[in-house]
A and B are shown apart, each in its own frame.
Chain A
Amino acid sequence: MKRTIQLIAGLALILFAHAASAQETFPYNGIKDQREGWYAITHATLIPQAGKQVDNATLVIKNGRIISVTSGGKVPDGAVEIDATGKYVYPSFIDMYAEYGLPKARPAGEGGRMQPQMLSNKNGAYAWNEALKPEFRAHEVFQPDTKAAKNWRSMGFGLVSTHQMDGLSRGTSAVVSVADDRPHEVILKSQAGHYLSFRKGVSTQSYPTSLMGAIALLRQTYLDADWFAKTAGEQNFSLAQWNEVQKLPQIFAVEDWQEALRADKLGDEFGRQYLIKGAGDEYQRVDKIKQTGATFIVPLRFPDAYDVSDPYDAHRLSLAQLRHWEMAPANAALLAKEGVPFVLTADGHSKPSDFIAALRKAIQHGLSEADALRALTETPATLLGVQQDAGTLSVGKWANFLITSGEIFAEGAKIHHNWVQGKPYVVTAIPQWNLQGEYALKAGSRAYNLSIGRKGSTVAIDDSTRLDATVKEEGGLVSISFPQDKGGNLVRLTGVITEGNWYGRGQDADGQWIQWEATSSGQATDDKKAKRLLPLRPLPHPSTPATYPIPLAHLVGNSCPQPRQSLSEMPL
């Protein structure tokens, strides 16, 4: 039995220990909380940025910002110390492609169900086409969403670039933190990027009905905006705003690798280099993807295995589908290997456990931990222009960090805390006691051997019979229940944990009140240690060609007498 972490008295206190508020214009009702949010996280293994590590680190934060990061540093007088011995501290993640705290996109008016709708239904002097909404500014309507924020924090994120995922021009995003605070506090940057796509979204207008129509509309809009800037032809707030947002990073969402090439080509026509939010299938033609010169925002949404137990069902699947299942988890690793710059996004995931699992799967398929961490922290911070405030753990930046039970990408590691702008949020409570081990348990007149393992607990009622037991610990209190005999009624015990032993009262199988006591008799046999999983296999894997051409092409296409030539080598 070992006490693993010394926490300040009561997590509840932390949760309400708000840093001095920046909302200085707001009146308050009651007694003003004037605490500064001064904390020192000590004895942690701290990863300030990918590829670096500070052992026995002391991280001091105040008023939401990082004051110092030192190895073995002293806790300043007045700071609240959080002993994180055995824990890891990482910068929290940043998602460049998110929709958070924004109203759902709605059509501008009644759509034409039976009638084509030739023009926009939107009131006001805006674009002729409803799918063009450069005037939408996320920061103007952003409202923190407690439930969604909790989900983001559980995935390890501290900041997101939130935008409304609707329309060809989707308007601008805001970089916001996922703290539970007023918008005044959590909006860190307005107009962080201009987002575009090839999908018209909820627009009920007829045009465009096709992908080529969407491309043509975007192309014409670049020209119209240029004309608008040079003439006083008409009043048009969409075009005015379109011109305004051109100085921002341009982020283009596509749905497959060929669309990435199309977007890049469109950008080239007008001297724009888009950041491209890809579909996760870039591995199919990574050579062409690389030639775009774009930085990719890569999702980690991998298809589940198909149920192929019935051969006729399996017959319906294309080779491309089968391959995508196999190759998608290796996509990010391949991009890293080929030197395509990229960041990662949680887009496509709503369950935190799925996102973390997918992240680990990508790492098992060859993505280095450093590349993964960089793609979730520093790189997006730089692309969003918030590198002065976020992305690494260094002095002066926002105190946005994670406290984890082990190396974050290792199987089984848990996020305990997600600190956002200097405020702690508990994701998985740090267990106050490591209970694993062997115990001699005396309950009433009977004696048992209690064994608490990583996966479960058992009670030996005699030399040959072990029965499952339930052991729960919370806040220094423990409860234990198990059947007194095989198939018999349950014994229920409750009590306190101390350094020396556990003890308390309970009811036996007959409902009689009893005293109980447990003392340690040995270390746990299966030590709970985070373990790195080895990659499933190296890249490229056996059933994929050594290079990564378009799959079907490689298999079904060229292999006649002449070797395949690249087009540039052909004298045409």
Chain B
Amino acid sequence: MLDPKAWETINGFTANAKAATERLGKLGVYFPHNKQQLADAAARIEAECDATMKSLLTEALTGAGSESAEPKAKAAAKPARLMIEEASGKRIRQFYLEELSTESRESYLAVEFDDGTEIVIDINVDVVSRPSFGIAHHVLDEDGDVRPLKERIKGSISSLVEQQDGRRPFAREVSE
């Protein structure tokens, strides 16, 4: 049986791939005409390496009788879908996407409903960490002020599915 701390250590190896792809991204300084392509490639390589590493480790460790690593790796490799159930049955008044500034790594998708509530999904793409999502459900009160209806949730899609799986109305996992 694999020690859970060992699995955390193995996961830390992906930092090496991240460092390599960051160096690749920095090559854009020397090849400005290809800067965007290099940055795009670096990000994709990092994501693919991470998924491949987890998948291969799962295969290897399954034979070793790992009970803790397998579920984590399988969860990372499989598709995830987060159902935002609060939106079901509501009529859209306005749906829009917003980018705060050209330098911002954060954007918003907002759905305003006829009943005066809204759901705001913020997408944060940090160059160091994984993309994360925040999902908030608001209501506009009589004064036009925005009040939260529910606690905002935040994380990757798979982590939100994992956290919320069947326990809160914001999310549940569906088999695909």
Do the two chains bind? no
